[in-house]
A and B are shown apart, each in its own frame.
Chain A
Amino acid sequence: MKQFKTVFGFELKNMLRSKTIIISTAILSIIILLATTIPTFMLWFSPGGDSGDEVNSGFEVLYDNESLEEALSGEFGKSDYTDINSLRAAIQKGEIEAGFVIHDFYDYTYITYDSSSSSMEQFNFEDKLRQLSQQRLFRQEGIDDAKVYEILNRPLKAESVTLGKDAASGLIIGYAFILVLYMLIVIYGTSVATSVAREKDSRTMELLITSTKPRTLILGKVAATGLMGILQVASIVLATLVGVFVNKANYPPIVFELIKDSMTLDTMMVYLLFSVLGYVLYLFIYASLGSLVTKVEDVNSAVAPITMLFVIAYLVASFAMQFPDNGIIKVTSFIPFLSIFTMPIRYGLTSVSLISLLSSSLIMILTLVLFAELSIYIYRFGSLNYGNRVKIRDIFKSFK
């Protein structure tokens, strides 16, 4: 235990002092702070005041005949252009952004220089034109248009009751969870594997394994790297909270409602339990694979199999976000390497029975213990073997 503390302390201290980690944490925190301030930035850049009725600001309208102009200029304004060519020329020169040529009450041409896929201006214009044309027809037929609109727009009183969980509300937390855990495992998994390989590469391993037990070394290293990752995530979460809190007033209230709905204590506990267990499980495997190579530059190929498995877990997780009730997803929530994502997602988005949750957790814990032991064995074997890259096959052959 004393030696575990020594290894843990040494590893953690050196990671905390690592410029790469400090700088990356600082940059990530700043990016997060900026990202959480986006709603505030958006307010600064959006035009002030209510612009709903000024359909033709920056736009010009040309009427095909005087009766149209008479009927519609109250809404769209009189035309400054005499014909379509002068309107086109003005748009071409960039004097105005776009123009509408009204041929009839139900017939118009929209002219613009660069067309974007969805033009709000066109939508608003068309809406207004349709309304005016409808009013005109109602009046012609002697119908009270106010009455008509009242009937058409009468709201329905609707109420939806969700007995289980509302999938929509868990989405934000779910996506954030997948993203953070994915980054955490890939970054710190590779980091622990590199750290082990570097000790072999520099032959420091020779001194380490003759000074203390391989078990102590790998446990201390995994614990220190694991904690470092959690600290980094904690600092990013803190930056997010600070950013959101400072800009709270500028967020649509719906965001908070969704988060609040999905942030129940039990959901958080499930997320936390599976991410920590899964994270440690992956770290052990990464550390043991790092011990199989003698050169730091070979680390990537050594960890490729576990990274591949993890990417599959990530893809399954993305699928689970859309179909949390799918049969395959249910199965994967009991497979340790995949359940790290899918069980919390299922729990967050749908209703999962306590027995499923407990059995999945138990499988996860047992796998963790089993793989930790296996990793210690591989590490022990790998750390003693220099020269050629050790193959997993050789290790299994060495079991007696």
Chain B
Amino acid sequence: MKLKIENLNKSFRDNHVLKDINLEVSSGEIFGYLGRNGAGKTTSIRILMDVFQGDSGKITMDGEDFDPSLYKIGYLPEERGMYSKYKVGEQLMYFAQLRGASKAQAKKSMDHWSKEFEIEKYLNAKLETLSKGNQQKVQITQAFINEPDILILDEPFSGLDPVNAKVFQDALVEYIRGDKIIIFSSHQMSYVESFCNDIAIIDQGKIVLQGNLKEIKKKMGQGKLRLRLGEDKDLSFLAGRDFFLDEEDIILTLKPTETKKSFLQNLLDMGVDLLAFNDYLPSLQEIFIQKAGDKHEAV
């Protein structure tokens, strides 16, 4: 399955929230959808889920107009919320049925996922009586229930302890094998880095970066080197160069006239005490800050 959003625009009165959004999400891999608070993530997700419609633009699935009612969609919103005074099991059944499952299907799916996320013993308890972590697992179960074709997860890891995070991670990896579309949004960049092949960064309603994460890193690191020096810290070679420090390392940009080889030769000739000499691959965190940070933070 290939979900494609083309030139999507949305305004709320005078506020132009989404500006010519273009996205491409393929099934079988986890898509990282990143953006700061208020960048337009939730609005675009809501349009995808047909809560409201875009002002212009097109959404297609495998080239055909996308009709959300034909697909099962699971959603874990960032703002968590379920009925605190009702029993967990009843709510899970309710949400599954609202999304089109029959009673029997809902029951079967609930049994499966509550076992997977280890909440089966809480099905008869009221949600408010559960610990925060367990409530979080109920919310996650809610998103997986009814085996959605498209699973949208907004900050799924918040509130999970490392053990539960691992359980969830495994479930996610297992789930993606079933040729599903998963859109994963988080501010915890380490998770996105470890999961997602493709990412998109949205900033002030515009997609500012999109593509394969490895390629993006490679591209953004082009012409840059990561150096680590030994005891003898003679930094005179840095004079007049574009560089910054990343903890112990020096991240340095080559001059247009230089090659990696000629620069290394120079360093060796100057007798610099070099411990490591690598291509520089920026972390997702750095990429994000560069693309979606405030203007004065931009590199």
Contact = CB atoms under 8 A, between A and B. Distances in A.
Interface stretch (A32-40, A175-183, A207-215): A207-215
A210 B73 contact: yes
A172 B73 CA distance: 56
Contacts of B94: 6, 10
Contacts of A398: 13
A199 B73 CA distance: 21
A391 interface: no
A218 to B, nearest CB: 14
A140 interface: no
Contacts of B77: 203, 206-207, 210
Nearest to A381: B52
Contacts, number: 53
A205 interface: yes
A210 B45 CA distance: 10
Contacts of A14: 86
Interface string A365-400: 000000000000000000010100000000001100
B113 interface: no
Given A210-B46, A210-B75, A202 B84 contact: yes
Nearest to A202: B81
A53 to B, nearest CB: 67
B80 A203 contact: yes
A3 interface: yes
A223 interface: no
A199 B86 CA distance: 12
Chain A residues touching B, majority SS? helix
Contacts of B136: none
B2 interface: no
B99 interface: yes
B250 interface: no
B275 interface: no
Interface in A1-48: 2-3, 6-7, 10, 14
B245 interface: no
A45 B266 CA distance: 117
Given A210-B73, A212-B98, A384-B51, A204 B83 contact: yes
B110 to A, nearest CB: 14
B51 A6 contact: no
Interface string B64-86: 00000000010101011111101
User: What are the nearest 7 A-B pairs in CB distance?
Assistant: A203-B81, A211-B98, A206-B77, A203-B79, A6-B97, A204-B81, A212-B98
Interface of A: 2-3, 6-7, 10, 14, 199, 202-212, 384, 386, 397-398
Interface of B: 13, 46, 49, 51-52, 73, 75, 77, 79-84, 86, 90, 94-95, 97-100, 142
18 contacts: A3-B98, A7-B98, A10-B90, A14-B86, A203-B80, A203-B81, A204-B83, A205-B81, A207-B82, A207-B95, A207-B142, A208-B98, A209-B51, A210-B49, A210-B73, A210-B75, A211-B99, A384-B46
